[in-house]
Amino acid sequence: MNIDKTVDKRAAEGVFSPTAIVLRGDGEPLDNTAYIEKLSSLSSRSPIAQDNYSIGGSVAELEESMARMLGKESAVFMPTGTLANHLAVRKLCQGYSRVIVQEQGHLYRDSGDTIQQLSGINLVPLGVGNPCFTYKEVQRAIEDSLSGRVPTQIGTLVIESPVRRCHGQVMPFKEMQRITQLCQENSIGTHLDGARLFMMSAASGINPEEYSSLFDTVYVSMWKYFGSPFGAILAGTNEFCENLYKQRRMFGGGLPSASMAAALALEGSKSFQKQFDDAMKRGVELLSRLSEIPEVQWEPYPNGSNIFPVSFSRKVDINALSGALEKRGIFINHETDGINRIHVTVNVTLLRKSVDQILHDFSKALEESVASS
């Protein structure tokens, strides 16, 4: 195994500092020590109920809690979001072999053809190059599937929102309503890949339950921002979720023990929405005030969530800026798209310092990056 020795160890360790402002990634960065400390704190207050092959105990507590939060009858814990999406599509298709997905979505781009290879279901990618497909594109795809010499009905439609590959841009709620209604009228199942659903809710002001109500099933990540090292929740009706754990096991997902991960996710989910709402307000304030500096320009995406493009004048050396910020405990994604623009991700680490303090540190780092260029 080759280890990249070019990684700055001090910077990597700094990301996990409890005072670090990490403007990349959806959640609070946690290392093994932090997980152990959180588990110790949890278990000291109340014993963590043991599960058996991901059934019962704190896993069941998490499933019941998430089902309530999403307004669904039932929910099942999954070890990964990839498996949650797969099992949702597999069951919703009911024997049909086509699924509409976004061309830029995780299911089409980042799952290694798992659904085609393991379940014999073909993905129909729409909205090429865009965060979302449109109502008209879906309507045309449905018509095309039935107009061939051998009609091949679409079994399921999947919407991922926000879309990671498109910097967290979301499908507008009204478009979701129209598309899912069209699917209902054509007896097509609907699944929301809502890995970052609770972040989308904070950005749009529409609660998770309202989004969830449009779909037959919904998946939410447990590790991206709820503080668990792994895990996902797949929610739907009682009928849909009944015995779903057997398919989970068939695909190798029946972990002997998931109670510790579930307990961490359950704890994190209780306070996340309020914290993230506050973080979003603070992030917008910070970016608005940063854009008053001549070298900085901020313009949010039209249908964005918690990821914002921030442009700098040519006088600013982005690598130097990143280094100067790291010295002050602020971490950015310093990859640019060729026009001196980075993407800043808002998360709960913004709550660790005041906007005034972060702005002061940013201003000083900017001065250093301009001087060194």
Is 2 within a domain?
Answer: no
Indicate if 204 and 236 belong to the same structural domain.
yes
For the chain, 373 residues long, give each residue's pLDDT as a single digit of tens.
Answer: 343 344 345 455 699 999 999 999 999 999 999 999 999 999 999 999 999 999 999 999 999 999 999 999 999 999 999 999 999 999 999 999 999 999 999 999 999 999 999 999 999 999 999 999 999 999 999 999 999 899 999 999 999 999 999 999 999 999 999 999 999 999 999 999 999 999 999 999 999 999 999 999 999 999 999 999 999 999 999 999 999 999 999 999 999 999 999 999 999 999 999 999 999 999 999 999 999 999 999 989 999 999 999 999 999 999 999 999 999 999 999 887 778 999 999 999 999 999 999 999 999 999 999 876 6
Indicate if 224 and 307 belong to the same structural domain.
no
Q: What is the pLDDT of residue 9?
A: 52
Indicate if 319 and 258 belong to the same structural domain.
no
Indicate if 307 and 259 belong to the same structural domain.
no
Domain boundary among 213, 236, 271: 271
Indicate if 13 and 99 belong to the same structural domain.
no
Is 64 within a domain?
Answer: yes
Indicate if 282 and 170 belong to the same structural domain.
no
Indicate if 96 and 165 belong to the same structural domain.
yes
Q: What is the pLDDT of residue 346?
A: 98
Domain count, the chain: 2
Is 353 within a domain?
Answer: yes
- Structural domain of residue 114, as residue ranges? 34-271
Indicate if 39 and 24 belong to the same structural domain.
no
Domain boundary among 271, 305, 322: 271
Is 168 within a domain?
Answer: yes
Indicate if 317 and 335 belong to the same structural domain.
yes
Domain boundary among 249, 271, 293: 271
The CATH number for 339's domain is: 3.90.1150.10
Measuring CA to CA, how many Å separate 160 from each of 157, 272, 275, 278, 338?
10, 21, 23, 24, 27
pTM above 0.85, yes or no: yes
Q: Determine the distance from the C-alpha atom of residue 36 to the mean position of all C-alpha atoms in its chain, rounded to a whole number.
A: 24
Indicate if 51 and 139 belong to the same structural domain.
yes
Q: What is the pLDDT of residue 373?
A: 60
Q: What is the pLDDT of residue 69?
A: 98
Is 169 within a domain?
Answer: yes
Of 71, 64, 60, nearest in space to 212 by CA: 71
Is 254 within a domain?
Answer: yes
Peptide bond into 256 cis (omega under 30): no
Is 1 within a domain?
Answer: no
The CATH number for 117's domain is: 3.40.640.10
Is 139 within a domain?
Answer: yes
Indicate if 276 and 218 belong to the same structural domain.
no
Indicate if 179 and 324 belong to the same structural domain.
no
